Chains A and B, each alone.
Chain A
Amino acid sequence: MSDVTASDVVKNGLWTNNPALVQLLGLCPLLAVTGSVVNALGLGIATLAVLVGSNTIVSLIRNHVSDAVRLPAFVIIIAAFVTCAELLMKAFTYDLYQILGIFIPLIVTNCAILGRAEAFASKNKVGIAALDGLMMGLGFLAVLVALGAIRELLGSGTLFADMHLLFGPMASTWMLQPFGDNYSFLIVVLPPGAFLVTGFLIAIKNAIDTANKRRADAQRDAPVKGAKRIRTTGHIS
Protein backbone atom coordinates (compact mmCIF):
# COMPACT_ATOMS: atom_id res chain seq x y z
CA MET A 1 0.00 0.00 0.00
CA SER A 2 2.80 2.39 0.88
CA ASP A 3 4.68 1.91 -2.37
CA VAL A 4 2.27 3.91 -4.53
CA THR A 5 4.03 6.29 -6.85
CA ALA A 6 3.23 9.96 -7.21
CA SER A 7 2.17 9.54 -10.84
CA ASP A 8 -0.32 6.84 -9.82
CA VAL A 9 -1.79 9.21 -7.27
CA VAL A 10 -2.10 11.99 -9.82
CA LYS A 11 -3.74 9.72 -12.41
CA ASN A 12 -6.10 8.23 -9.81
CA GLY A 13 -7.33 11.54 -8.48
CA LEU A 14 -7.80 13.27 -11.79
CA TRP A 15 -9.08 10.44 -13.94
CA THR A 16 -9.10 6.70 -13.12
CA ASN A 17 -10.61 7.04 -9.69
CA ASN A 18 -12.10 10.53 -9.91
CA PRO A 19 -14.18 11.13 -6.77
CA ALA A 20 -17.11 12.63 -8.67
CA LEU A 21 -17.22 10.64 -11.90
CA VAL A 22 -16.04 7.20 -10.76
CA GLN A 23 -16.49 6.95 -7.01
CA LEU A 24 -19.64 9.10 -7.25
CA LEU A 25 -18.92 10.59 -3.83
CA GLY A 26 -20.14 13.98 -2.64
CA LEU A 27 -22.97 14.09 -5.16
CA CYS A 28 -25.20 16.23 -2.96
CA PRO A 29 -23.14 19.44 -3.21
CA LEU A 30 -22.09 18.46 -6.72
CA LEU A 31 -25.67 18.50 -7.95
CA ALA A 32 -26.93 21.32 -5.78
CA VAL A 33 -24.47 24.14 -6.34
CA THR A 34 -23.34 23.68 -9.93
CA GLY A 35 -25.80 26.16 -11.42
CA SER A 36 -22.94 28.49 -12.32
CA VAL A 37 -19.16 28.49 -12.63
CA VAL A 38 -18.61 30.81 -9.69
CA ASN A 39 -20.63 28.65 -7.28
CA ALA A 40 -18.86 25.51 -8.48
CA LEU A 41 -15.46 27.15 -8.14
CA GLY A 42 -16.21 28.42 -4.63
CA LEU A 43 -17.35 25.08 -3.30
CA GLY A 44 -14.63 23.22 -5.21
CA ILE A 45 -11.83 25.32 -3.75
CA ALA A 46 -13.21 24.98 -0.23
CA THR A 47 -13.45 21.19 -0.62
CA LEU A 48 -9.95 21.05 -2.08
CA ALA A 49 -8.51 22.98 0.85
CA VAL A 50 -10.26 20.75 3.37
CA LEU A 51 -9.12 17.58 1.58
CA VAL A 52 -5.45 18.61 1.48
CA GLY A 53 -5.55 19.72 5.12
CA SER A 54 -7.32 16.66 6.47
CA ASN A 55 -5.19 14.22 4.45
CA THR A 56 -2.00 15.87 5.71
CA ILE A 57 -3.00 15.88 9.37
CA VAL A 58 -4.48 12.38 9.26
CA SER A 59 -1.27 11.08 7.73
CA LEU A 60 0.82 12.88 10.35
CA ILE A 61 -1.04 11.29 13.25
CA ARG A 62 -1.58 7.88 11.66
CA ASN A 63 0.88 6.11 13.96
CA HIS A 64 -0.25 7.78 17.17
CA VAL A 65 -3.95 7.02 17.14
CA SER A 66 -5.22 3.53 17.83
CA ASP A 67 -7.84 1.87 15.64
CA ALA A 68 -10.50 2.20 18.31
CA VAL A 69 -10.60 5.99 18.22
CA ARG A 70 -9.37 6.47 14.67
CA LEU A 71 -12.72 7.46 13.17
CA PRO A 72 -13.75 9.95 15.87
CA ALA A 73 -10.32 11.56 15.61
CA PHE A 74 -10.65 11.86 11.80
CA VAL A 75 -14.11 13.34 12.16
CA ILE A 76 -12.82 15.95 14.61
CA ILE A 77 -10.02 16.90 12.22
CA ILE A 78 -12.32 17.20 9.21
CA ALA A 79 -14.97 19.12 11.12
CA ALA A 80 -12.33 21.56 12.37
CA PHE A 81 -11.04 22.19 8.85
CA VAL A 82 -14.53 22.71 7.48
CA THR A 83 -15.41 25.15 10.24
CA CYS A 84 -12.23 27.11 9.56
CA ALA A 85 -13.01 27.16 5.84
CA GLU A 86 -16.53 28.36 6.59
CA LEU A 87 -15.31 31.19 8.83
CA LEU A 88 -12.71 32.26 6.28
CA MET A 89 -15.21 32.27 3.40
CA LYS A 90 -17.63 34.26 5.52
CA ALA A 91 -14.89 36.78 6.24
CA PHE A 92 -13.44 37.19 2.76
CA THR A 93 -16.12 36.19 0.24
CA TYR A 94 -19.29 37.01 2.16
CA ASP A 95 -21.66 37.21 -0.83
CA LEU A 96 -20.54 33.87 -2.20
CA TYR A 97 -20.93 32.38 1.28
CA GLN A 98 -24.52 33.66 1.26
CA ILE A 99 -25.21 31.89 -2.05
CA LEU A 100 -23.56 28.58 -1.15
CA GLY A 101 -25.13 28.74 2.31
CA ILE A 102 -25.64 25.36 3.93
CA PHE A 103 -23.38 23.54 1.44
CA ILE A 104 -20.21 24.91 3.01
CA PRO A 105 -20.83 23.32 6.45
CA LEU A 106 -22.07 20.24 4.59
CA ILE A 107 -18.58 19.68 3.13
CA VAL A 108 -18.02 17.80 6.38
CA THR A 109 -20.44 15.12 5.20
CA ASN A 110 -18.75 14.78 1.80
CA CYS A 111 -17.79 11.10 1.86
CA ALA A 112 -14.87 11.77 -0.45
CA ILE A 113 -13.04 13.46 2.41
CA LEU A 114 -13.50 10.82 5.11
CA GLY A 115 -13.05 8.20 2.39
CA ARG A 116 -9.60 9.50 1.43
CA ALA A 117 -8.58 9.93 5.09
CA GLU A 118 -9.55 6.36 5.87
CA ALA A 119 -8.48 4.61 2.67
CA PHE A 120 -5.32 6.49 1.79
CA ALA A 121 -3.98 9.06 4.22
CA SER A 122 -4.09 6.76 7.24
CA LYS A 123 -1.81 4.29 5.46
CA ASN A 124 0.66 6.53 3.64
CA LYS A 125 3.43 9.02 4.27
CA VAL A 126 2.66 12.71 4.65
CA GLY A 127 3.94 13.93 1.28
CA ILE A 128 2.07 11.42 -0.82
CA ALA A 129 -1.07 11.79 1.31
CA ALA A 130 -1.09 15.54 0.79
CA LEU A 131 -0.59 14.99 -2.95
CA ASP A 132 -3.50 12.55 -2.94
CA GLY A 133 -5.68 15.15 -1.21
CA LEU A 134 -4.63 17.75 -3.75
CA MET A 135 -5.31 15.50 -6.74
CA MET A 136 -8.62 14.14 -5.46
CA GLY A 137 -9.64 17.73 -4.66
CA LEU A 138 -8.59 18.91 -8.12
CA GLY A 139 -10.49 16.03 -9.72
CA PHE A 140 -13.60 16.99 -7.77
CA LEU A 141 -13.08 20.69 -8.54
CA ALA A 142 -12.65 19.99 -12.27
CA VAL A 143 -15.92 18.06 -12.45
CA LEU A 144 -17.71 20.75 -10.44
CA VAL A 145 -16.47 23.50 -12.72
CA ALA A 146 -17.24 21.51 -15.88
CA LEU A 147 -20.77 20.87 -14.63
CA GLY A 148 -21.17 24.50 -13.58
CA ALA A 149 -19.94 25.78 -16.95
CA ILE A 150 -22.16 23.45 -18.99
CA ARG A 151 -25.25 24.15 -16.89
CA GLU A 152 -24.66 27.89 -16.81
CA LEU A 153 -24.03 28.05 -20.56
CA LEU A 154 -26.94 25.84 -21.62
CA GLY A 155 -29.31 26.88 -18.84
CA SER A 156 -28.96 30.63 -18.46
CA GLY A 157 -26.96 31.42 -21.59
CA THR A 158 -24.10 33.02 -19.67
CA LEU A 159 -20.59 32.00 -18.72
CA PHE A 160 -18.52 33.32 -15.79
CA ALA A 161 -21.39 35.47 -14.49
CA ASP A 162 -20.90 37.05 -11.02
CA MET A 163 -17.21 36.13 -10.88
CA HIS A 164 -16.62 39.28 -8.82
CA LEU A 165 -18.05 37.36 -5.85
CA LEU A 166 -14.80 35.38 -5.80
CA PHE A 167 -12.21 37.57 -7.53
CA GLY A 168 -13.22 41.10 -6.57
CA PRO A 169 -14.55 43.99 -8.70
CA MET A 170 -12.10 43.52 -11.59
CA ALA A 171 -13.85 40.25 -12.51
CA SER A 172 -17.29 41.77 -13.02
CA THR A 173 -16.60 42.20 -16.76
CA TRP A 174 -15.73 38.55 -17.36
CA MET A 175 -19.28 37.51 -18.16
CA LEU A 176 -19.93 36.09 -21.64
CA GLN A 177 -23.38 35.87 -23.22
CA PRO A 178 -22.93 33.88 -26.41
CA PHE A 179 -26.65 33.36 -27.07
CA GLY A 180 -27.90 36.91 -26.51
CA ASP A 181 -29.95 38.39 -23.72
CA ASN A 182 -33.14 36.41 -23.42
CA TYR A 183 -31.87 32.87 -23.72
CA SER A 184 -32.81 30.39 -21.04
CA PHE A 185 -33.32 26.64 -20.97
CA LEU A 186 -35.00 25.93 -17.69
CA ILE A 187 -34.48 22.22 -17.15
CA VAL A 188 -30.69 22.52 -17.20
CA VAL A 189 -30.76 25.05 -14.35
CA LEU A 190 -33.15 22.97 -12.24
CA PRO A 191 -31.93 19.91 -10.26
CA PRO A 192 -32.92 17.35 -12.96
CA GLY A 193 -30.51 19.14 -15.29
CA ALA A 194 -27.71 18.48 -12.82
CA PHE A 195 -28.43 14.74 -12.96
CA LEU A 196 -28.64 14.77 -16.76
CA VAL A 197 -25.39 16.67 -17.26
CA THR A 198 -23.57 14.51 -14.67
CA GLY A 199 -24.85 11.41 -16.48
CA PHE A 200 -23.53 12.68 -19.79
CA LEU A 201 -20.15 13.53 -18.25
CA ILE A 202 -19.85 10.00 -16.82
CA ALA A 203 -20.88 8.54 -20.18
CA ILE A 204 -18.27 10.62 -22.01
CA LYS A 205 -15.58 9.53 -19.57
CA ASN A 206 -16.53 5.89 -20.00
CA ALA A 207 -16.59 6.24 -23.78
CA ILE A 208 -13.07 7.69 -23.75
CA ASP A 209 -11.86 4.89 -21.45
CA THR A 210 -13.43 2.22 -23.68
CA ALA A 211 -11.92 3.71 -26.81
CA ASN A 212 -8.47 3.85 -25.17
CA LYS A 213 -8.80 0.28 -24.03
CA ARG A 214 -9.83 -0.97 -27.45
CA ARG A 215 -6.86 0.76 -29.01
CA ALA A 216 -4.53 -0.76 -26.41
CA ASP A 217 -6.07 -4.20 -26.95
CA ALA A 218 -5.65 -3.96 -30.68
CA GLN A 219 -1.96 -3.18 -30.29
CA ARG A 220 -1.35 -6.06 -27.94
CA ASP A 221 -0.88 -9.63 -29.23
CA ALA A 222 -3.85 -11.95 -29.28
CA PRO A 223 -4.69 -13.00 -25.71
CA VAL A 224 -3.70 -16.43 -24.50
CA LYS A 225 -6.56 -18.85 -24.75
CA GLY A 226 -8.49 -19.34 -21.54
CA ALA A 227 -7.31 -16.06 -19.98
CA LYS A 228 -10.06 -14.26 -18.16
CA ARG A 229 -10.66 -10.58 -18.28
CA ILE A 230 -12.01 -9.24 -15.05
CA ARG A 231 -14.30 -6.30 -15.45
CA THR A 232 -13.79 -3.68 -12.79
CA THR A 233 -15.70 -0.55 -12.11
CA GLY A 234 -14.51 2.16 -9.78
CA HIS A 235 -12.88 1.17 -6.55
CA ILE A 236 -11.42 2.93 -3.57
CA SER A 237 -7.73 2.18 -3.75
Chain B
Amino acid sequence: MILQSIRFNAIVLAVFALVTAIILASTDTLTRDRIADSERKAAQRKLLEIIPIERHDNDLLMDVQPIPERFWAKLGLKKGGDIHIARSDGQPVAAIIPALTPDGYSGNIAMIIGINFDGTIAGVRVTEHRETPGLGDKVDLKKSDWILDFNGKSLVNPDKSGWDVKKNGGAYDQFTGATITPRAVIHQIAKTLEYFTEDSERLLIEAAKSKSDLELIGSLEQMNSLERIDSLEPMRIETNNE
Protein backbone atom coordinates (compact mmCIF):
# COMPACT_ATOMS: atom_id res chain seq x y z
CA MET B 1 0.00 0.00 0.00
CA ILE B 2 2.69 2.48 1.07
CA LEU B 3 4.92 1.24 -1.71
CA GLN B 4 2.14 1.79 -4.19
CA SER B 5 1.55 5.38 -3.11
CA ILE B 6 5.27 6.12 -3.18
CA ARG B 7 5.44 4.76 -6.69
CA PHE B 8 2.42 6.77 -7.77
CA ASN B 9 3.77 10.01 -6.28
CA ALA B 10 7.16 9.46 -7.82
CA ILE B 11 5.59 8.98 -11.22
CA VAL B 12 3.46 12.12 -10.84
CA LEU B 13 6.52 14.19 -9.92
CA ALA B 14 8.53 12.69 -12.76
CA VAL B 15 5.80 13.60 -15.23
CA PHE B 16 5.81 17.12 -13.84
CA ALA B 17 9.54 17.45 -14.17
CA LEU B 18 9.40 16.12 -17.70
CA VAL B 19 6.64 18.48 -18.86
CA THR B 20 8.31 21.54 -17.33
CA ALA B 21 11.65 20.52 -18.80
CA ILE B 22 10.05 20.37 -22.24
CA ILE B 23 8.38 23.78 -21.76
CA LEU B 24 11.62 25.37 -20.55
CA ALA B 25 13.66 23.85 -23.35
CA SER B 26 11.26 25.12 -25.99
CA THR B 27 11.13 28.64 -24.48
CA ASP B 28 14.90 28.62 -24.45
CA THR B 29 15.13 27.64 -28.12
CA LEU B 30 12.53 30.23 -29.06
CA THR B 31 14.26 33.09 -27.26
CA ARG B 32 17.91 32.12 -27.64
CA ASP B 33 18.59 33.94 -30.92
CA ARG B 34 16.75 37.01 -29.76
CA ILE B 35 18.67 37.11 -26.47
CA ALA B 36 22.01 36.74 -28.25
CA ASP B 37 20.95 39.51 -30.60
CA SER B 38 19.95 41.81 -27.71
CA GLU B 39 23.21 41.15 -25.90
CA ARG B 40 25.19 41.91 -29.03
CA LYS B 41 23.26 45.11 -29.67
CA ALA B 42 23.69 46.28 -26.07
CA ALA B 43 27.45 45.69 -26.23
CA GLN B 44 27.63 47.39 -29.61
CA ARG B 45 25.67 50.43 -28.45
CA LYS B 46 28.20 51.14 -25.71
CA LEU B 47 31.10 50.91 -28.16
CA LEU B 48 29.29 53.12 -30.67
CA GLU B 49 28.78 55.80 -28.01
CA ILE B 50 32.53 56.21 -27.79
CA ILE B 51 33.45 55.87 -31.45
CA PRO B 52 30.43 57.08 -33.44
CA ILE B 53 29.58 55.45 -36.73
CA GLU B 54 30.97 58.42 -38.75
CA ARG B 55 34.48 57.69 -37.52
CA HIS B 56 34.76 54.04 -38.46
CA ASP B 57 33.45 51.55 -41.00
CA ASN B 58 34.22 48.16 -39.46
CA ASP B 59 32.30 45.90 -37.09
CA LEU B 60 33.60 47.06 -33.68
CA LEU B 61 32.30 43.95 -31.94
CA MET B 62 34.16 41.50 -34.15
CA ASP B 63 37.44 43.38 -34.58
CA VAL B 64 39.18 42.49 -31.31
CA GLN B 65 42.69 42.01 -29.96
CA PRO B 66 43.33 40.13 -26.70
CA ILE B 67 45.15 42.02 -23.93
CA PRO B 68 48.55 40.46 -23.08
CA GLU B 69 48.61 39.01 -19.58
CA ARG B 70 51.42 41.28 -18.34
CA PHE B 71 49.14 44.32 -18.72
CA TRP B 72 46.14 42.86 -16.86
CA ALA B 73 47.20 44.25 -13.48
CA LYS B 74 47.67 47.75 -14.90
CA LEU B 75 44.14 47.74 -16.32
CA GLY B 76 42.76 46.19 -13.13
CA LEU B 77 41.50 43.15 -15.04
CA LYS B 78 41.54 39.74 -13.38
CA LYS B 79 40.37 37.65 -16.29
CA GLY B 80 41.80 39.64 -19.16
CA GLY B 81 39.66 41.05 -21.91
CA ASP B 82 39.53 42.21 -25.49
CA ILE B 83 40.44 45.54 -27.03
CA HIS B 84 38.08 46.61 -29.80
CA ILE B 85 39.74 48.27 -32.78
CA ALA B 86 37.93 50.94 -34.80
CA ARG B 87 39.09 51.35 -38.40
CA SER B 88 38.30 53.63 -41.25
CA ASP B 89 39.22 52.28 -44.69
CA GLY B 90 41.14 49.50 -42.96
CA GLN B 91 43.36 51.96 -41.04
CA PRO B 92 43.06 51.71 -37.23
CA VAL B 93 41.78 55.01 -35.82
CA ALA B 94 41.11 54.15 -32.19
CA ALA B 95 41.11 51.36 -29.63
CA ILE B 96 38.45 50.74 -27.00
CA ILE B 97 40.03 49.29 -23.88
CA PRO B 98 38.19 47.72 -20.94
CA ALA B 99 39.44 48.64 -17.45
CA LEU B 100 38.40 48.08 -13.87
CA THR B 101 39.24 49.94 -10.69
CA PRO B 102 38.79 48.43 -7.23
CA ASP B 103 39.21 51.85 -5.55
CA GLY B 104 35.58 52.96 -5.82
CA TYR B 105 33.51 53.75 -2.75
CA SER B 106 31.62 50.45 -2.93
CA GLY B 107 32.99 47.69 -5.10
CA ASN B 108 34.59 47.69 -8.50
CA ILE B 109 33.93 50.30 -11.15
CA ALA B 110 34.09 48.86 -14.66
CA MET B 111 34.62 51.16 -17.62
CA ILE B 112 35.57 51.22 -21.26
CA ILE B 113 38.05 53.80 -22.47
CA GLY B 114 38.38 54.75 -26.13
CA ILE B 115 41.80 56.09 -27.10
CA ASN B 116 42.67 57.46 -30.54
CA PHE B 117 45.93 56.22 -31.97
CA ASP B 118 47.37 59.73 -31.51
CA GLY B 119 47.11 59.21 -27.73
CA THR B 120 44.07 61.40 -27.05
CA ILE B 121 40.93 60.09 -25.40
CA ALA B 122 37.97 59.49 -27.70
CA GLY B 123 35.57 58.85 -24.84
CA VAL B 124 35.07 57.07 -21.54
CA ARG B 125 31.99 55.29 -20.20
CA VAL B 126 31.40 53.64 -16.85
CA THR B 127 29.73 50.33 -17.65
CA GLU B 128 29.15 48.92 -14.17
CA HIS B 129 29.27 50.39 -10.68
CA ARG B 130 27.56 50.36 -7.31
CA GLU B 131 28.42 53.88 -6.17
CA THR B 132 26.08 55.83 -3.89
CA PRO B 133 23.04 57.12 -5.80
CA GLY B 134 23.05 60.91 -5.90
CA LEU B 135 26.73 61.21 -4.93
CA GLY B 136 29.26 58.88 -6.55
CA ASP B 137 26.98 57.75 -9.37
CA LYS B 138 27.62 61.01 -11.23
CA VAL B 139 30.42 59.15 -13.01
CA ASP B 140 27.58 57.54 -14.97
CA LEU B 141 26.62 59.52 -18.07
CA LYS B 142 22.95 58.94 -17.23
CA LYS B 143 23.32 61.09 -14.10
CA SER B 144 25.84 63.74 -15.11
CA ASP B 145 28.06 64.58 -18.07
CA TRP B 146 31.20 64.76 -15.92
CA ILE B 147 32.66 61.78 -17.78
CA LEU B 148 32.69 63.81 -21.02
CA ASP B 149 35.42 66.07 -19.54
CA PHE B 150 37.95 63.46 -20.53
CA ASN B 151 37.25 63.72 -24.26
CA GLY B 152 40.37 64.95 -26.08
CA LYS B 153 42.60 64.72 -23.00
CA SER B 154 45.89 62.81 -23.03
CA LEU B 155 48.92 62.09 -20.83
CA VAL B 156 50.51 65.44 -21.83
CA ASN B 157 47.28 67.44 -21.55
CA PRO B 158 47.04 67.77 -18.59
CA ASP B 159 50.48 66.56 -17.46
CA LYS B 160 50.94 63.77 -14.94
CA SER B 161 50.11 65.85 -11.85
CA GLY B 162 46.89 66.98 -13.50
CA TRP B 163 45.44 63.48 -13.46
CA ASP B 164 43.70 63.92 -10.12
CA VAL B 165 40.74 65.70 -8.59
CA LYS B 166 41.03 69.48 -8.06
CA LYS B 167 41.14 68.95 -4.30
CA ASN B 168 44.49 67.17 -4.76
CA GLY B 169 45.83 69.73 -7.24
CA GLY B 170 44.53 67.96 -10.35
CA ALA B 171 42.58 69.23 -13.33
CA TYR B 172 39.27 67.41 -12.84
CA ASP B 173 36.24 68.27 -10.69
CA GLN B 174 35.29 66.14 -7.74
CA PHE B 175 31.63 65.89 -6.78
CA THR B 176 30.15 67.57 -3.73
CA GLY B 177 30.31 64.92 -1.04
CA ALA B 178 32.12 62.37 -3.16
CA THR B 179 35.83 62.48 -3.90
CA ILE B 180 36.71 58.81 -3.75
CA THR B 181 34.69 57.75 -6.78
CA PRO B 182 35.93 60.38 -9.28
CA ARG B 183 39.50 59.97 -8.02
CA ALA B 184 39.37 56.21 -8.62
CA VAL B 185 38.04 56.78 -12.15
CA ILE B 186 40.61 59.49 -12.99
CA HIS B 187 43.52 57.37 -11.76
CA GLN B 188 42.37 54.33 -13.73
CA ILE B 189 42.01 56.38 -16.91
CA ALA B 190 45.55 57.72 -16.45
CA LYS B 191 46.83 54.18 -15.95
CA THR B 192 45.01 53.04 -19.08
CA LEU B 193 46.64 55.87 -21.05
CA GLU B 194 50.03 54.75 -19.73
CA TYR B 195 49.26 51.22 -20.84
CA PHE B 196 48.33 52.52 -24.28
CA THR B 197 51.62 54.42 -24.76
CA GLU B 198 53.48 51.20 -23.91
CA ASP B 199 51.43 48.90 -26.06
CA SER B 200 50.03 50.94 -28.97
CA GLU B 201 52.82 50.00 -31.41
CA ARG B 202 52.26 46.30 -30.87
CA LEU B 203 48.51 46.88 -31.20
CA LEU B 204 49.00 48.62 -34.55
CA ILE B 205 51.11 45.77 -35.88
CA GLU B 206 48.65 43.13 -34.65
CA ALA B 207 45.74 45.13 -36.05
CA ALA B 208 47.44 45.29 -39.46
CA LYS B 209 47.98 41.50 -39.32
CA SER B 210 44.42 40.76 -38.31
CA LYS B 211 43.19 43.03 -41.07
CA SER B 212 44.82 40.80 -43.65
CA ASP B 213 43.32 37.84 -41.78
CA LEU B 214 39.89 39.41 -41.98
CA GLU B 215 40.37 39.99 -45.69
CA LEU B 216 41.42 36.37 -46.03
CA ILE B 217 38.29 35.22 -44.26
CA GLY B 218 36.26 37.50 -46.49
CA SER B 219 37.76 36.03 -49.65
CA LEU B 220 37.31 32.48 -48.28
CA GLU B 221 33.64 33.21 -47.73
CA GLN B 222 33.38 34.48 -51.27
CA MET B 223 34.98 31.29 -52.55
CA ASN B 224 32.59 29.22 -50.48
CA SER B 225 29.59 31.02 -51.88
CA LEU B 226 30.99 30.55 -55.38
CA GLU B 227 31.35 26.84 -54.72
CA ARG B 228 27.80 26.71 -53.49
CA ILE B 229 26.59 28.20 -56.74
CA ASP B 230 28.71 25.67 -58.62
CA SER B 231 27.23 22.79 -56.68
CA LEU B 232 23.75 24.06 -57.31
CA GLU B 233 24.10 24.28 -61.03
CA PRO B 234 24.55 20.57 -61.86
CA MET B 235 21.46 19.83 -59.80
CA ARG B 236 19.50 22.31 -61.78
CA ILE B 237 20.69 20.70 -64.97
CA GLU B 238 19.65 17.31 -63.68
CA THR B 239 16.15 18.49 -62.92
CA ASN B 240 16.01 19.97 -66.37
CA ASN B 241 16.92 16.63 -67.85
CA GLU B 242 14.13 14.94 -66.00
Residues of A within 8 A of B (CB): 35, 64-66, 68-69, 72-73, 76-77, 79-80, 83-84, 87-88, 90-92, 94-95, 98, 155-156, 184, 186, 189-190
Expressed in whole angstroms, the minimum distance between the Cβ of B58 and any Cβ of chain A is 24
Contact A35 B133 (CB under 8 A): yes
Answer whether residue B134 sits at the interface, using C-beta atoms and an 8 A cutoff.
yes
Could you say which residues of chain B place their CB within 8 Å of the CB of A184?
Answer: 134
With CB as the reference atom, state the residue of chain B lying closest to A187. B134
Contact A73-B133, Cβ < 8 Å, known A68-B5, A80-B24, A94-B35: no
Could you say which residues of chain B place their CB within 8 Å of the CB of A83?
Answer: 24, 27
Given contacts A94-B38, A190-B132, 9 further A-B contacts (CB under 8 A): A76-B20, A77-B16, A80-B24, A84-B23, A87-B27, A87-B31, A91-B38, A95-B42, A186-B135
Give 21 CB contacts A-B under 8 Å: A35-B133, A64-B12, A65-B12, A66-B5, A68-B5, A69-B13, A72-B13, A76-B16, A79-B20, A80-B20, A83-B24, A84-B23, A90-B38, A91-B34, A94-B38, A94-B41, A94-B42, A184-B134, A186-B132, A190-B132, A190-B133
A94–B34 alpha-carbon span in the complex (Å): 10
Expressed in whole angstroms, the minimum distance between the Cβ of B158 and any Cβ of chain A is 27
A156–B133 alpha-carbon span in the complex (Å): 9
Could you say which residues of chain B place their CB within 8 Å of the CB of A76?
Answer: 13, 16-17, 20
A186–B132 alpha-carbon span in the complex (Å): 9
Top 6 A-B residue pairs of the complex, sorted by shortest distance between their CB atoms: A94-B38, A91-B31, A91-B34, A80-B20, A186-B134, A69-B9
Answer whether residue B173 sits at the interface, using C-beta atoms and an 8 A cutoff.
no
Expressed in whole angstroms, the minimum distance between the Cβ of B29 and any Cβ of chain A is 10
Residues of B within 8 A of A (CB): 5, 8-9, 12-13, 16-17, 20, 23-24, 27-28, 31, 34-35, 38-39, 41-42, 132-135
Could you say which residues of chain A place their CB within 8 Å of the CB of B24?
Answer: 80, 83-84
A88–B38 alpha-carbon span in the complex (Å): 12
Contact B133 A66 (CB under 8 A): no
Expressed in whole angstroms, the minimum distance between the Cβ of A117 and any Cβ of chain B is 14
Partner of B133 from the list A65, A79, A87, A189 (CB cut-off 8 Å) is A189
Contact A186 B28 (CB under 8 A): no
Partner of A73 from the list B12, B28, B134 (CB cut-off 8 Å) is B12
Could you say which residues of chain A place their CB within 8 Å of the CB of B16?
Answer: 73, 76-77
